[in-house]
A and B are shown apart, each in its own frame.
With several copies, the nearest count.
Chain A
């Protein structure tokens, strides 16, 4: 039951997938896993905000358990 990481806009473009899976851990470890697998993600990552199970999460040490969902949101550009 891995973590689902959903990628949007520039983050999806960098990874080339709209969803990838990672092992449970912390928000930081999940994102590190993606950055290792997809080097282009490293450039967009510092500008992104994150949702953990649909709630904004700014703590890199937040626990991301099995079956959790992480959303990776690049800077908004609406309007």
Chain B
């Protein structure tokens, strides 16, 4: 097993094992593997998946658009969470581009010594990503109409 103190991914060091914005498929098991650590007693992961319905309307296709700064903002968010909680490791990924129904748009995992901190840190991470990440969601409904979410 790699020494977690020197783990490098995406140019980030130490506790932050990954903070990426990508057009490829992302999933929780990958994030969980990235935060694995013999010191970790608890790993909590989150997967935010694309649904086939939104407010009762049937969603046909869904596309995320990211601002060029999105990956840098995600790294800042990860650092802020790292500073706020007692983490062993953290990994987070947001997908952009078209995402098929049922696949993940945002996945995150945190590893900590104790479980309360893992739940709190993972939830705070996801909340902060939602608040800060310059990313937009475009939905096309089965009736042919479309919307930019939060901008209707």
Asked whether any CB of A lies within 8 Å of a CB of B in the complex, the reply is yes
User: Does A10 make an interface contact (CB < 8 A)?
Assistant: yes
Report whether A77 and B67 are in contact in the complex, using a CB–CB cutoff of 8 Å: no
Partner-contacting stretch, out of B5-13, B116-124, B143-151? B143-151
User: Does B3 make an interface contact (CB < 8 A)?
Assistant: no
A13-B148, A79-B94, A79-B126 given; A71·B133 CB < 8 A: no
A9-B148, A44-B151 given; A77·B135 CB < 8 A: yes
Chain A: how many interface residues by the 8 Å CB criterion? 16
Taking CB atoms, residues of chain A closer than 8 Å to B69 are 51, 54
User: Does B19 make an interface contact (CB < 8 A)?
Assistant: no
Q: How far is the CA of A77 from the CA of B134 in the complex (A)?
A: 8
Residues of chain B having any CB pair with chain A under 8 Å: 48, 64-65, 67, 69, 94, 105-106, 115, 126, 129-138, 148-151
Q: For the complex of A and B, list the 3 residue pairs with the smallest distance between their C-beta atoms, beginning with the closest.
A: A9-B136, A78-B135, A10-B148
25 CB-based A-B contacts, threshold 8 Å: A8-B65, A8-B67, A9-B138, A9-B148, A13-B148, A44-B151, A47-B151, A51-B69, A54-B69, A71-B67, A74-B136, A74-B148, A75-B150, A76-B130, A76-B134, A76-B135, A77-B137, A78-B64, A78-B94, A78-B106, A78-B130, A78-B134, A78-B137, A79-B48, A79-B130
